[in-house]
């Protein structure tokens, strides 16, 4: 049975906050310059934070935290379901999971999170300038929630283009990617033309 925590995880960014994102993209140079300095500091603080619990991350979580960069990818779908972690013949019971499908230029990604709690969302900020019709993945950060004697629990917080933050409590993750060969062929044909 899935371990449930009474209180859902917080859907608030620690480092790359919606407020910092807005100031970083401000039309006022002085505001944007100050935010850029804060942004660079946040990047360094986040890297140091990841280093503090890097020994708790398996290779999949480490890849998600340090190497995977879907900035500005379009979110195609977010599906919650129960899936078998290995295969349908497995004796392990199906686990609650969420699958996020993203499109970034010529690649589609499926990120499969195995959950230890329910997903939480923040409220949309009052004066958010972007539309919420076509959601994109802006920035993200991973947090270690607790140390378990069996495995660590993580929370992946994602700032979406509608201003909300999605907090995904997970203990393991898989990332699949698919290249769209039609786009590659189109790029190749432009190079030879």
Query: Which residue is it, tokens 């069996």?
Result: 150
Q: What is the mean pLDDT of residues 148-152?
A: 70
In which domain, by residue range, is 93 found?
Answer: 18-186
**% of the chain residues with pLDDT over 70:** 81
pLDDT for position 6: 46
Q: Quick one: which of 115, 169, 117, 122 has its CA closest to 142? A: 169
Beta-carbon contacts of residue 21 (< 8 Å; ≥ 6 apart) = 138, 139, 159
In a domain, 12, yes or no: no
8 versus 55: the higher-pLDDT residue is 55
User: What mean pLDDT is reported for the chain?
Assistant: 84
Residue 78, Cα to own-chain centre: how many angstroms? 12
Asked, for residue 70, whether it belongs to a domain, the answer is: yes
pLDDT digits (tens, 9 = 90+) for 31-44: 999 999 999 999 99
C-alpha pair distances (Å), 52 with each of 3, 47, 49, 143, 153: 25, 9, 5, 11, 15
Lowest mean pLDDT among 62-71, 88-97, 116-125: 88-97
Number of domains in the chain: 1
Instruction: Decide: 176 and 109 in contact? Cβ < 8 Å.
Output: yes
pLDDT of residue 137: 95
Mean pLDDT, range 40-51, rounded to an integer: 95
H-helix segments, the chain: 18-24, 29-52, 59-66, 181-192
Indicate whether 10 belongs to any domain.
Answer: no
**Is 1 part of any domain?**
no
Indicate the pLDDT class of residue 133, thresholds 50, 70 and 90: confident
Residue range 105-112: average pLDDT?
93
**What whole-number distance in Å separates Cα of residue 193 and Cα of residue 189?**
6
82 found inside a domain: yes
180 pLDDT higher than 90? no
Is 34 domain-assigned? Answer: yes
Residue 84, pLDDT score: 61
- Is residue 5 assigned to a domain? no
Q: What is the pLDDT of residue 105?
A: 87
pLDDT band for 151, please (50, 70, 90 cuts): confident
Whose CA is closest to 81, among 56, 100, 103, 99?
Answer: 99
Note whether 121 and 11 are within 8 A (CB).
yes
Overall pTM surpassing 0.85 (yes/no): no
Residue 11 lies in a domain: no
The two tokens of residue 105 are 């230029």
Distance, in Å, from the CA atom of 20 to the CA atom of 34, rounded to the nearest integer, reads 10
- Which residues does residue 75 pair with via DSSP β-bridges, in sequence order? 102
């Amino acid at each position: 049975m899935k371990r449930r925590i009474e209180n859902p995880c917080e859907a608030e960014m620690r480092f790359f906050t919606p407020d910092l994102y807005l100031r970083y993209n401000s039309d006022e140079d002085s505001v944007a310059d100050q935010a850029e300095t804060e942004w660079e500091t946040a990047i360094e603080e986040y890297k140091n934070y990841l280093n503090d619990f890097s020994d708790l991350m398996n290779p999949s979580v480490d890849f998600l935290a340090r190497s995977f960069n879907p900035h500005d990818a379009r979110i195609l779908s977010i599906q919650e379901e129960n899936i078998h972690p290995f295969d349908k013949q497995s004796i392990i019971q199906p686990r609650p999971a969420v699958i996020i499908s993203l499109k970034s230029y010529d690649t589609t990604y499926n990120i499969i999170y195995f959950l230890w709690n329910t997903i939480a969302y923040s409220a949309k900020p009052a004066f958010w300038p972007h539309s919420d019709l076509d959601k994109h993945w802006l920035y993200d950060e991973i947090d270690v929630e607790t140390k378990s004697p069996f495995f660590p629990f993580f929370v992946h917080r994602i700032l979406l283009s509608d201003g909300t933050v999605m907090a995904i409590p997970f203990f393991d993750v898989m990332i699949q990617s698919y290249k769209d060969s039609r786009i590659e062929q189109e790029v190749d044909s432009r190079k030879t033309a």
